[in-house]
Amino acid sequence: MRRATIAVRGYRNSDPYGSLQPPIYQTALFRMEGEAQKSDRGFDLKYSREENPTLRPLEEALASLEGGVDSLAFNSGMAALSSVFLSLLRSDAKILVTMEAYGATLRLLSSLSKFGVKMQKAYPSTDVYIEFLKESRPNVVFFETITNPTLRVLDTPEVIKAAKDLGATVVVDNTFATPVLIQPISHGADFVVHSTSKYIAGHNDVIGGVAVVSKRELLEELWVWRAMLGGIMQPFEAFLTLRGLKTLFVRFEQQCRSAKAVAEFLSEHSKVSEVIYPGLSSHPDHAIAKKLFGDKFGAVVSFRVKGGKETVIKFFKSLRLITPGPSLGGVESIATYPVASAASPIPEEDRKILGITEDLVRLSVGLEDVNDIINDLAQALENVIP
């Protein structure tokens, strides 16, 4: 099956009544006469903190989309990442990340230092990151296919190759790019994680995460950590996420087209000092993005508003259609103030180097008519800036 078909039908459905949609098993436990029953992949099926059949269609489809052998669904993206890191990291481990990563991820890895885990950070450009990787020789390499919020694009195959040459385990966050644009496991990654709250579920109405694995032995230990930490996705959330996944390709492809149009509009606006979007030739990683992604460059556009913090706040308050908020990836367009949300845990000195400043706005482009999105941006910019 092609990937768009996998998103719709890439799972087994063994419902005995022939239901088109996989049923929700809203139960805490399963019948157990002596030994526990086994799920389709051989894990104990006795208690829903450990395994629940509702999750299996979603896990199968996401594993197929990412080119992995299987996946585990979690109750948030951070639960997925936490479990992956705890399954991999030891007291003397070194993990390399980019200076620009999701703030909660950086906070998590920094907190693990009290257990002897050493986090190292490198600037998010391919050459710098690979050079640092070769010098530091980490046990685990972690990066995002598109960073947040300055949308840097590392050369995923090159970074993975450099890490593998040194024997490192590679974990990739593919939330912003989605499997529509790239499949890191096909380039040698060991784990791929998503906040499924974003594009996978796609409707700003469910929190979740997933970790896709490249080989079975990684799955078994990760499954134990999910069970111990209690991070499993709940049945109703799994149902909603699978429903959202079925429209991923049509949603994301349209959002990418609209985002490029929005970026081009903003790049010509006199009240905008800079537009950051991998689909523009002005972006430092445009050539890499084009090589990896083809003609689609994601659905997030960042830009700088002339006038600084006070003007940006007025801009947010002047929006009529676009919603000011802290997330992305849904059908509604969301405008975010990075220094006050996802990027706030990044140290101030790192934010300055990265260009995450008080004039920066991140826009997640939704499925509204692109002309309505542009008109709302235009009126907000004109209304608040003299």
CATH of the domain at 354: 3.90.1150.10
Residue 327 · residue 333 · CB < 8 Å = no
In the block, tokens 């790192």 appear at 350
The verdict on 182 and 199 lying in the same domain is yes
The verdict on 189 and 261 lying in the same domain is no
Phi (first) and psi of residue 28, to 5 degrees: -85, -30
The verdict on 8 and 135 lying in the same domain is yes
Question: Which residue numbers in the chain have pLDDT < 50?
Answer: none
The verdict on 290 and 316 lying in the same domain is yes
The verdict on 303 and 208 lying in the same domain is no
**What is the reported pLDDT for 21?**
94
The verdict on 376 and 295 lying in the same domain is yes
**CATH assignment of the domain containing 219:** 3.40.640.10
Residue 278 · residue 297 · CB < 8 Å = yes
Where is the domain boundary, 211, 245, 279?
245
**What is the reported pLDDT for 16?**
85
Cα–Cα–Cα angle for 78, 79, 80, nearest 5°?
A: 90
Range(s) of the domain holding residue 50: 3-245
The verdict on 227 and 295 lying in the same domain is no
The verdict on 36 and 149 lying in the same domain is yes
The verdict on 91 and 176 lying in the same domain is yes
Catalytic residues: 49, 102, 173, 198
Where is the domain boundary, 221, 245, 269?
245
Where is the domain boundary, 198, 228, 245?
245
Q: Name the pairing type of β-strands 300-305 and 272-276.
A: antiparallel
The verdict on 281 and 228 lying in the same domain is no
**What is the reported pLDDT for 386?**
62
* Overall number of domains in the chain: 2
The verdict on 19 and 139 lying in the same domain is yes
What the block records as the tokens of 46 is: 């006795």
The verdict on 175 and 300 lying in the same domain is no
Cα–Cα distances (Å) from 168 to 107, 116, 182, 282, in that order, read 22, 18, 21, 33
